[in-house]
Chains A and B, each alone.
Chain A
């Protein structure tokens, strides 16, 4: 297994190499949910993970947490290989690596009070006395903008989606983790609430010195919070680049198509300039040979069907898995227009 840093990041807190997750279906087929992906997350960084629904984002996040452990591959967190830890060691390490889920409501136990829910991770590890735990819970609730003395005894049905997500965040922070994986943490919320929760996450990131993996299918949301972005398609990573670069100068055809599908307020971009995604992604039970995007790629050639494109560094920090990546000049062109668009938007 090679452990060269990917994307010229020197000190990764998390290194994922050749992560593969497969599920068996009832009729004996195999779902190739995640197929050999590799990425690094540097200390203090926010890595965005985007892709269409069903491309394996959640599966990746869960495999990193070893919930369940991946079929193959390696996950190194803070120098420890998680896939080979004993179950107790793993449970201990997981406390450093917390997760926030897509459905804010179902991630809270309906029969327990909020106070109890946030204290649960602390109680699991017998951190402090019950009194100290309670103090800590109130502190956390305050940090996420809830008043413990008022709402502490309430159950989840008495909260809105946004409040539930605040509670989840407080719970995830209770053990003072070093890394937070947000799996579509704002997707289920109203736009105005999304902004609040995103701000809260940013604030918590600063305050608790967190390293974050931010999973979403909304490119605009990801752009706002991420330092680097990884784009996934059908269980593979297509492109990883610093956020500005990726949005300004995508080099993978899928990324370009995704970006083109964001509604642009800029009238100078004519439809047809950039290929727009058409059709449905193929089934992960029977992914295309070679490049998985070839069935929808405007540039696909024979080589794309024959050879799997490896994720390689095309320019410093910019990794692309494509045999015929978009030219930098095209990219620069897009960059120019995008900046214009940004200016217009401001």
Chain B
């Protein structure tokens, strides 16, 4: 894992002081709320329905146990004893007081953490594959590149007041576990025919009210030009992205309006100029960062055998454990989706326990996933059973990864001031209704947003739910056929919406039709793509 040196630490420490100063000026009335807003937002501090919400960055989703314990401490000391892990691989606290914000940032800084650029119209925290560094299918660990990007984008002076927020995701496998093409910039680490490292660059994806899958802008960007090229991509956007209408300000609209070819032309032209400025760090800097991500000292000669005689354990292994690149090891996902629970929530005690388990069983490493779970990336297979028992005792062994109850849900009207409808109660009802048959239903990515902003990725759900306001009552639209994976696609709205119970019934009709029409081995999404929208529409509306 990356460790701060004195430069990194001095920047984060300075930020704590700067923010304390800004909060003091706000509390003294020297800054209006309008002037304070962009400043607090650049520090992840939102004003929600009931309190301030603080979003803490977990760069590319990677944490060690010391940092995880700090997250538990903050939940206990400044919140109501829990935290909410989010689709941005971050953690949010929903009950923060403004006067505490400086102290929280100071606590975070002691463990090399911060809330920098977790909101605001700037380059946000970079997300990545939660299995990075452990997955058998990656070309290389993408996180050193994400760290390089973190540093370059932190307080980038030119890109602090972009037209709109800017999100980058980096992956290194053909299998996309990070919804890469639904980001403003998506990067896929790859190798060309000569064996050189570089990136496929996708620009202009996003969700919100106008969802788009990003087109390919550069087929192979040599690693040495990485930051220059990104700088060119951002500069074109900063200069020409729309600022007249907040709903049209994302880069996806620019790329869409001028076309991918014209955007590419402008970027390439800007890049030729930017490349002369010497902003790409030398290879030694990459090597320095890369060394922090060296593979842990895996034990050699371990067996891949697992005793699966305990049926509950077997269920969990089958569902929540993923292939690791080293023999005798496995990647274990801790589901934060207990049946009927609030997706992504964890208590301070659970956070502490996960930290302890990571220290004992996973080389001190944890990951936050964009589907709001926690991963222990490097577990010896021989330890899996003990690990599972400890998780089970803490209510953390739900065996539902990628099943319907492993859904994404945004905070919705229970917390969010922009919401049209609640997300959490719908999530809970769906989870309860389908838990018994979810193993049979197989992989099914269900995603819920409480409004058109799409924080809950509903466009990218195999089944998506969108909360809308219908004449003052909460109403839910159903979408089918989205995907945030390598086969990225956007869901289609089935028709008129439903009330809270109605949407659960509509999903039941959808799933019954799936079961009746599927061919062996087909996921819901595959069946949907094969038989088409109308079949399901007919099942839903009769």
Do A and B truly interact?
no
A-side residues, CB < 8 A to B, are: none
